[in-house]
Amino acid sequence: MRTWMRGLSAAMLGLFAMACSAQDGATAKFEQGKQYQQVRTIEAPIDAKRIEVREFFLYSCPHCYHFDPAITAWEKTKAGDVDFVRAPLTFGREVGRTHAKAYYAADSLGILSKIHPALFNAFHEQHNSLASDQQVAGVFRQVAGIEPEATIAQLKSFTADAQVRKNDQQAMAFGVSSVPTVVVGGKYVTSPAMAGGFDEAVTVINFLIDKVRQERGGQ
């Protein structure tokens, strides 16, 4: 009996050692300065119990278009203490401003889940530049049945303009210079380019969420 117990204890210790080794390996496989880095200016959280994951993107960016399915799938599986926010940028281009405002117009009209993928599709698959309010309004009408006047009113709203300007300012503060780029917890930044692929970026995002949670004293 004692021999059997000693054998069981040895086996359990062996499994524990393997688990610890695997955990250490998972922690060590991502390095700051390689798969992720610290943002230029750290943003203090409004609620330390919540972790924000913010994706900066452009509708005209092909890499953002191809990354969107991966980040959308991830959003459905994220932890309960994680908030996901998309932040369309302009990079100082007027067409980028129109695209970014389209995101917030759709949000205000309650049709963002339909319009977000439709805008990507219109630009990259239908070769619609979405350069004018009228072109954007056409997509809104086709996809969600929204009258052009209602769409254009939202595109020209103070709320949409203010949010787009805020995104550009935040991106500059974080040191974001390309898209898609993801900032986790207002402290760390990663991207498919840094991580080595779209799925790899999602893995790094989860790693950074755990890192921020631990740094804040969470479990």
What share of residues in the chain are helix, strand, coil (percent, to 5)?
60, 10, 30
State yes or no: pLDDT of 218 exceeds 70: no
Model confidence pLDDT, tens digit, residues 167-202: 999 999 999 999 999 999 999 999 999 999 999 999
* Full strand arrangement of the beta sheet holding 82-88: 37-38, 188-190, 181-184, 51-57, 82-88
Q: How much is the pLDDT for 69?
A: 98
Same-domain pairing of 12 and 35? no
pLDDT digits (tens, 9 = 90+) for 94-143: 999 999 999 999 999 999 999 999 999 999 999 999 999 999 999 999 99
Question: pTM for this one?
Answer: 0.86
Domain match, 9 and 35 both: no
Are residues 181 and 167 part of one domain? Answer: yes
- Mean pLDDT across 67-80: 98
Query: Residue 23's domain spans which residues?
Result: 1-30
Kind of pairing, strands 82-88 and 188-190?
A: unpaired
Q: What is the pLDDT of residue 216?
A: 94
Residue 13 has pLDDT above 80, yes or no: no
Dihedral over Cα of 165, 91, 193, 60: its sign: positive
pLDDT tens for 88-101 read: 999 999 999 999 99
pLDDT digits (tens, 9 = 90+) for 40-61: 999 999 999 999 999 999 999 9
Going by pLDDT thresholds of 50, 70 and 90, the confidence category of residue 12 is: very low
**21, 126: one domain:** no
Per the structure, the count of domains in the chain is 2
Count CA within 13 A, CB hemisphere, residue 215: 16
Distance, in Å, from the CA atom of 40 to the CA atom of 177, rounded to the nearest integer, reads 11
Do residues 157 and 120 share a domain?
A: yes
CA distance 56 to 58: 7
Q: Are residues 39 and 23 in the same domain?
A: no
Tokens linked to 87 = 């932040």
The per-residue pLDDT for 25 is 38
Domain shared by 63 and 93, yes or no: yes
